[in-house]
Structure 1
Amino acid sequence: MNLDRPWETPEAEWRADVGRVRAGRRLVPSAWPGGARSALALSFDCDHETFELGAGRSAIGRLAWGEFGRRTGVPRILEVLAQHDARATFFHPAVAALIDASAIQPIVDAGHEIGVHGWIHENTSRLDRQTERDLLLRARDTLAHLSGQMPVGHRAAQWDLSPHTIELVAEAGFLYDSSMMADDDPYEPLVAGRPSRLVEIPVDWVRDDAVYLLFNREPATRPFTPPEAVFDIFRREFDAAHAAGGVCQLTFHPFVIGYRSRIWILDALLSHARAKGDVWIATHADIARRIAQDLELTRT
């Protein structure tokens, strides 16, 4: 693509770009476990210090900000999840896990999933294919060693994907990806028109706490949404998914949601979901496995 004059791009080129990775069939199973009407997929992106390191910076204050996520945010999150007997997925850049390997164990011991979130929270879209592949496999194997469980889920850092990301994730044997935004409910990504055999559990900025609550100097962003409004947005997303019988996927960050004045959002959402009485609150991996199982049954 010509960044300065995109209108001059030949049709064959923009069609190839658009067709590289597309959404295939929607993947909502015929029934959720236990007679549930819908599924709630909670995820926590444990960027920690790599929020700074992955941008090529090492400011002491910002590293401490990331450390807050591991030191304070994650324990508060685990406490709330335990109160509601809820399982969730914690996506980790491998470097964030290596900085304090002992912090992984309480997450695993509580029955939660560990997923891959890059090596050092690098921008995947800037990598050549071989480098991206090497970092993906290194991150997967490092997290497997630290957690004692082989990760089956991938989420690109910053949700930035290269033209090769989905293909590489499939080749590496992952069960699912959670980086794309082509639907509310899970679907199968197509790579150059071919089924990838991956389950995509889509994300979206509207369902991400950082969009509303993250303060940042560079690039300059300022929180402008009060916690009550964030809760209302997430609750409405959940209620609509529940009414449709689909999946509500939400993304949180321990160094964003983990503050005393914000952790109540997670608690209130879980209380609201449990009050429905027919919601399956599960890890991304369990949801992907349920979908894959259902599809396998329909193929035979």
Structure 2
Amino acid sequence: MSRTGMSRTDPNPSAESWRWPESEWRRHVDAVRAGRRLLPDRWPGGARVAVALSFDPDHETIPLRDGETSPGRLAQGEYGARAGAPRILELLARHGVPATFFMPAVSALLHPEEARAYTRDGHELAVHGWIHERNTLLGRQDEKELVSRALRTLTDLTGRRPVGIRTPSWDFSDSTLHTILELGFAYDSSLMADDEPYEILAEGRPTGLVEIPVDWIRDDAPYFTMDRYGSVRPHSRPRDVLEIWTDEFDAAYREGGVFQLTLHPHVIGHRSRMAVLRELLDHIAAHPGVWYATHAELAEAARTALRPESPEHTP
């Protein structure tokens, strides 16, 4: 595939943005923006808080994306499929908790039974790119082709068409939103403009697309990732991270909002880290009025706030 030019969202040290007229910086800011906050009047069943757990089974696609084919790097990803994913599925089953798995298509092709197990066990399988590509380096047609191919692959493997998408590395190119809308996704989970779901605006216009926001503080990778030849080193004790995530849940519970978490089988799936995930689920279970939802279910509940009779919330 060819690259048809760099996205204007890519860093450009020579841009001299301080010279931009107001029309220029407003154009960039307004391209993709958070609209009204989508909190329904009540969560299903009268619950006080919504909890949406997600897992990204990237497995071998991280090194493959960068053309790294050493057995050592690939084995790190394979750990997620062999050890991490089974532990996660067992823990979710024990707690009766549904989750959403955002899986790159190449990962699903390498581990088709795993992909099928997610939907068979009542979880949601959603799109996470083709090979965890860096979509901000792709042209519009190439990006659309990879997302379309990923959508077809997951549909063929499981017999169910995914309704949600999470972009690889949570990156958004100039054409990502257009691709998501054109392919008919019901929601995205890649942006960070709020703690609660919101409607995405395109150049100031409502799109009807629900965003289930993420954040790096509710992601296991920044705390635990290891790169032997780079500067990335695990810098947090698992129980220090548990304290952060517990505080995030407690605040969402007090506010009646959403607690969303992003995890990776090859990261959280290690024994000492699964221990804190178990403790987190035990902590949540001690609270009455918790609604566990897949991201698709959460998006559907949030969508009720788009109805004309619902009061409009502002971010």
TM bin, normalised by shorter chain, reads over 0.9
Equivalent in the alignment of 1:267: 278
Which amino acid letter does the alignment assign opposite residue 215 of structure 1? M
Q: Deviations over 1:12-59 (max 9, x none)?
A: 222111111000000011111111101011000110000111122212
**8 A Cα contact 1:44 1:89, kept in partner:** yes
Matched, 1:287 2:305: no
CA distance in 2 between counterparts of 1:219 and 1:28 reads: 41
Alpha-carbon shift at residue 263 of structure 1 (Å): 0.4
Specify whether residues 297 and 34 from structure 1 end up closer, same or farther in structure 2 by C-alpha distance, changes over 3 A only: farther
Q: Which residue pairs with 1:163 in the alignment?
A: 174
Instruction: List alignment gaps of at least 5 residues for structure 2.
Output: 1-7, 311-315
Alpha-carbon distance, 1:167 to partner: 2.2
| Deviation at residue 100 of structure 1 after TM alignment | 2.0
**1:3 CA displacement:** 2.3
Q: What TM-score do you get using the length of structure 2 for normalisation?
A: 0.92
Alpha-carbon distance between aligned partners in 2 of 1:10 and 1:70, rounded to the nearest angstrom: 50
Which residue does the alignment assign to 1:77?
A: 88
Q: CA RMSD in A?
A: 1.4
Unaligned runs of 5+ in 1: none
Partner AA of 2:106 in structure 1: V
CA distance in 2, matches of 1:223, 1:184: 26
Helix, strand or coil for the counterpart of 1:198? strand
1:120 corresponds to 2:137: no
1:3 to 13, 18, 23: 13
TM-score, L = length of structure 1? 0.96
2:286 aligns to what SS in structure 1? Answer: helix
Is structure 2 residue 231 aligned with structure 1 residue 220? yes
Aligned residue for 1:57, secondary structure, equals coil
Q: Is 2:200 the partner of 1:195?
A: no
Match of 1:97, SS?
A: helix
Q: How far off is 1:205 after superposition?
A: 0.5
Question: How many angstroms apart in 1 are the aligned matches of 2:120 and 2:148?
Answer: 24
For 1:126 and 1:195, locate their aligned partners in 2 and report how far apart those are by CA, in whole Å: 27
Contact 1:188 1:196 (8 Å CA) reproduced: yes
Please list, as runs of the form range in 1=range in 2, the aligned pairs for 1:1-300 lying within 5 A after superposition.
Answer: 3-4=13-14, 5-217=16-228, 219-296=230-307, 298=309
> CA separation in 1, counterparts of 2:53 and 2:90?
14
Distance in 2 between the 1:162 and 1:294 partners?
A: 28
- Give the conservation status (yes or no) of the 8 Å contact 2:38–2:305: no
Distance 1:257 1:298 in 2: 42
Any idea what SS the aligned residue of 1:298 has? coil
SS of 2:253 mapped into structure 1 = helix
Distance 1:44 1:226 in 2: 20
| Cα separation, 1, equivalents of 2:23 and 2:70 | 45
Q: Give the Cα–Cα distance (whole angstroms) in 2 for the partners of residues 142 and 293 of structure 1.
A: 30
Structure 2 counterpart SS, 1:225: coil
Aligned equivalents of 1:190, 1:297: Cα separation in 2? 17
Q: Please give the secondary structure, in 2, of the residue aligned with 1:199.
A: strand
State the identity as a percent: 53
Aligned residue identity for 1:64: A
Are the aligned partners of 2:39 and 2:197 in contact in 1 as well (CA < 8 Å)?
Answer: yes
CA displacement, residues 223-268 of structure 1 (integer Å, 9 cap, x when unaligned): 1110001101001001101110111110000000001111012211
Taking the aligned partners of 1:219 and 1:177, their CA distance within structure 2 comes to: 31
Q: Distance in 2 between matches of 1:65 and 1:155?
A: 22
Shift of 1:80: 0.6
Assess if the C-alpha contact under 8 Å between 1:125 and 1:162 holds in 2.
yes
Cα deviation, 1:57-94, whole Å, max 9, x if unaligned, reads 21211111101101110000001101110000000000
Q: How many residues align?
A: 299
What letter is aligned with 2:128? H
Instruction: Give SS of 1:232's match.
Output: helix
Does the residue aligned with 2:271 lie in a helix, a strand or coil? coil
